[in-house]
Amino acid sequence: MKNDRKRNRRIKLSAAALSLVLLLSCAACGFAAESPSAKIVEPAAATAGDVTISVDVAGFNTGERNAAQGYIVYYMDTSVPVYYAHSALSKAGTYAVSKETSYTWTGVTPGEHKFSVQLVDDDHSPLPAPVVDSTTILVGAPDGAPQLEILNLTDGDSLPPGNILLVAGVNNFIVSRKDMGVVNRSGEGHLIYYIDEDPPTEQGAPAVTDTSMVSTDLSRLWKGITEGSHTFSVQLVNNDDTPLETPVFVTVTIDVKP
């Protein structure tokens, strides 16, 4: 009888141990880590200026048990570094690191642009199995006609001789240093500043003069201005310095006196 009771007790303990193992196995299955994934979902199209890239992320940086932790790197117009244990950061100005599932690129010019995302570890290195998604978007010209104004001066202002600052305001137009001198794109270009002359507006001809200043800055400091009446102008031009199809410029006349 004693042997039978011992045998039954051993059987019960073995069954309990097996049940516990099965329970733990099921629990582990329920919390199995989801493979990290990333997919760019917006936008399908965009206009020049601010372009927001939105991405769906799973199994990564979600706070869920066993989910990988790290960052999202957003890229524009560059190749994506994917070498394990190396930095996933590209050239300055072509990437942004974020914990958020959307990022807004500013000052995006018209034309075709490649946007990419990559999931990276806390040290900004690619995952052992790189997780990358890319999309190419044809970015259109800004909505509306280009607009230009002089913000700090008005016709008839009186200023003392010396240095005179002109500050310009631009809307519906992308001022791009990177694309100066290359292919023209609608809604993109730069500025030319003039003093005491009319801005040239002949189509297809450079609007540059002997005294004008080509710039991507929204201000121009004219130095050593003498007494008298002076005109100050600024014009929006294409990447190749030619006037827009419909010329856009503004002029103010200033009375310079002590």
pLDDT band at 39 (very low <50, low <70, confident <90, very high): very high
**147-256 CATH fold:** Immunoglobulin-like (2.60.40)
> Token pair of 36, please?
């990290």
Looking at domain 37-140, its CATH class is mainly beta
Cβ within 8 Å of residue 211, ≥6 positions away: 194, 195, 196, 197
Percent of the chain with pLDDT over 70: 84
Range scoring the smallest mean pLDDT among 71-85, 114-128, 174-188, 221-235:
174-188
User: Structural domain boundaries of the chain?
Assistant: 37-140, 147-256
**Mean pLDDT across the chain:** 88
Q: What is the pTM of this model?
A: 0.70
pLDDT band at 68 (very low <50, low <70, confident <90, very high): low
